[in-house]
Amino acid sequence: MSALATAIFLVLFVVAAGVGTMIALVRGARHVRERRRARRAARPRRTLLAFAADGGDAERDELVRLPARDWRAVEPTVLELLAKVRGEARTALAEVFIRRGLVSRARRDLRRRGPVRRARAAGVLGSLGHRSAVPELCRLLLDPNPDVRVAAVHSLGRIADPAAAGPLLASLAAPNPAPSQLVAHSLIQLGPAAVPALVAALEEPTPLVRMTALDAVRLLGATVAEPEVAAVLRDDPSLEVRLRAVATLGRIGTRATMPHLLTACEPEQPAQLRAAAARALGELGVVAAVAPLQALLSSPDYRTGHEAAGALLRLGAGGAAALAEAATGTDRAAGHAREVLALADLQREYAESIPQWPAGVAQGA
């Protein structure tokens, strides 16, 4: 081996040894920090467990007086507990946050440059149910960072202030909004008080806003919105929006809804809409729909005929009789009827094959 090669080997050996030593030192320092953090958090966690058990004033005051370093070690656990407890325990735990000044700090952090701090602050305020922060959280719905927008949507749903309904819906018209499913979930958490804003959103120009409003109306079961939803089904220029309106009417509609759904089943309507309307007629549960659904069994569109057969099955004895009558023929309607009846027989046989446990006897006992 030449002198140059030997020198290079020695240099590489020294460098490798140095890197290995640095890695060992970093890992050791991290281990020491983690042990110190665990020791600092041990006593506060015991205090927190005692507080969760009885919510005593002594434990609450001790949590308030914790040194900042100890509080940082236990704060994630406190936030996790806050999301689980209810009633007086939650109120008392929220008081700890307020007395430590964390609410004020979180509201300041909503305006920080770092998106992680903004998102974290939004989560803290949502966990606390801090209603006075709703206007600031609504502004974060248009934040340039997607994680911050999602955190704001979640927090507004937790706080459940109906005043957030309008901003939540309006945010869907902005570029790159939070996922509409999350927005719909938060709107549902606002409860029936959000229905006026949902109805007003049915006239918004952005289809995504109208579709999300319809989803929330359906999941809330807001029957008072039936006339407005029927108007959307009749007049909206977007097929996707009309399909959501059909699904919503199937959930919240009454007998007065049936003419609107029958209009959606007419031959000049899009095939996708006709099939959805046939399904909604079955969900509506109106016996008067048996005759028009029986006529739809002969639809040239397979999906419409299939959905009509399924709808008849859901309409009880009258629907079952119509299917049995149609099944005796040889046309397209007979095929749909036999298919649905055979599937119903299979499902019934499967249900009967499952062992039935006597009342009061646990499975596997």
Residue 54 confidence (pLDDT): 57
Structure confidence by residue, pLDDT tens digits, 222-258: 999 999 999 999 999 999 999 999 999 999 998 899 9
Q: How far apart are CA 154 and CA 162, in angstroms?
A: 14
Long-range pairs of 71-80 with CB within 8 A, sequence gap ≥ 24:
71/44, 71/100, 73/37, 73/40, 73/41, 73/44, 74/41, 74/44, 74/45, 74/48, 77/41, 77/45, 77/48, 78/48, 79/123, 79/124, 79/127
Give me the mean pLDDT over the 126-148 stretch.
Answer: 94
Residue 365 confidence (pLDDT): 46
Residue 94 confidence (pLDDT): 78
Confidence check: pLDDT of 192 > 90: yes
Reading phi first (left if > 0) and then psi (alpha if -120 to 50, else beta), residue 268 is in alpha
Tokens, residue 252: 């919240």
